[in-house]
Amino acid sequence: FDAHFSCEWSRAEGFYEKGRQLAPEHPAGACVQAQIAASTGDLERMALIIDEADLDPSSHPLAALTHIFKHSLLDQADAADALVSEDWEKSVWNDFQFTWIMAQAQAALGRRDEAMRWLERATERGFIHYPFLSTGDPLLASLRGTPRFESLMARVELRWRGFEDAVIAG
């Protein structure tokens, strides 16, 4: 994830491609590669990655999320929403990565409040990479500058600094 969170997209894609080769059947590979393509603005490649992975949305919560992500970034809200259920939400609600991806999807649809709900959950679950969240992630750009986002980032920064201090103190 270091390359991803440093916005070194081509380097990150190389790592994720190796991961996909090791476990081609797992939906994580397609999902993170699609995130990278979307982060660079290449939505056509993002959709191709997901389509070629041929993930059955009912096979795994991450497979469904990968399709939700694709539909959201392609502005296909109805298709994305059709994959979201109460049971599905419960299955992803406690995972910091899944909730972050859902925040990106909701931000792409222009649903700021819903995106913030998911992003707040991601940070509650431990996703506190302040530099990336505050300025790096291009898929959250539409949230930046809003009072709710800036308030969240102030809290995340405190946790990030505390984490850094704890690691350095060893």
If the chain, 170 residues long, is cut into consecutive pieces of 10 residues, what is the mean pLDDT of each piece? 78 78 83 94 96 95 98 98 98 97 98 98 96 97 98 96 76
pLDDT of residue 49: 94
User: Alpha-carbon dihedral of residues 65, 67, 72, 78, nearest 10 degrees?
Assistant: -110
Segment 60-71, tens digit of pLDDT: 999 999 999 999
Would the pTM count as exceeding 0.85?
yes
Segment 61-99, tens digit of pLDDT: 999 999 999 999 999 999 999 999 999 999 999 999 999
Start-to-end Cα distance in the chain: 22
Q: What are phi and psi of 13, to 5 degrees?
A: -60, -35
Q: Which of 136, 133, 132, 131 is nearest to 119 (CA)?
A: 133
pLDDT of residue 1: 65
